[in-house]
Amino acid sequence: MCSGRVDLAFILRAFSNGMDGVFIGGCRLKECNYITHGNYHALSNVLLFRKIMEHIGLNPERLRIKFLSSGEGILLVEVINDFCQKVRELGPFGKSEGVDERGLKLNLEAVTQLIPYFKLVEREKLRLPFKSEEEYKEFFASDDLNRLFNELIIDKLAISQILLLLREKPLSTGEISKILYLNPSDVSRHLNSSSRYGLVRYDESRKRFALA
């Protein structure tokens, strides 16, 4: 199967099912067996998801992609053994990062709901005409990428988290801020925008926000 077929949802499903690490192997860049060069898409997806993992407090080293040829069996074994050793050193997913079970579940569910949107962002904004892995990594570490990430992803993710919390029970701005470790002014901004779209409402009797 082409590594370009590895959907963001596949990676997330593995972590949601309790995997401590995810390894993706693909053909060497510029040596694609198809005209799609899907390994570049796989690289872009992995770098994006690593960025998301870092944002929600998970170690991005738990996700790795490596490009090899079909004749490099010995190298493949070495790479997989190295990755397995790294995952063992990192320890249990979430727990080792200090993310409690409830917070981990909330974050992964928030990301799950946004997978179609993330795929659109990756396709429209992050598929670049680069020809090397180094150029992709350089871009994903750049100020331009951080700006795009802040503009297109962080707010969407925060709103998704807030809506999931309100699905459990009505909460105040301060309570949401404390649970998600967000600035109260940012929470208020997200609640106001969600209210305009008819997603949440303010319950005067409880002095709390609730799902509309």
Q: What residue ranges define each of the domains in the chain, with the CATH number in brackets? A: 3-165 (no CATH), 169-212 (1.10.10.10)
Q: What is the Cα–Cα distance from 184 to 176, expressed in whole angstroms?
A: 8
**Over 35-51, what HEC string results?**
CCCHHHHHHHHHHHHHH
> Mind listing the pLDDT tens digit for each residue in 2-44?
887 889 999 999 999 999 999 999 888 887 777 677 888 899 9
Question: CB-based contacts of 151: which residues, under 8 Å, 6+ apart?
Answer: none
pTM of the full predicted structure? 0.91
> Mind listing the pLDDT tens digit for each residue in 160-202?
999 999 999 999 999 999 999 999 999 999 999 999 999 999 9
> Mind listing the pLDDT tens digit for each residue in 78-131?
999 999 999 999 999 999 999 999 999 999 999 999 999 999 998 888 878 777
Residue 85 has a pLDDT of 97
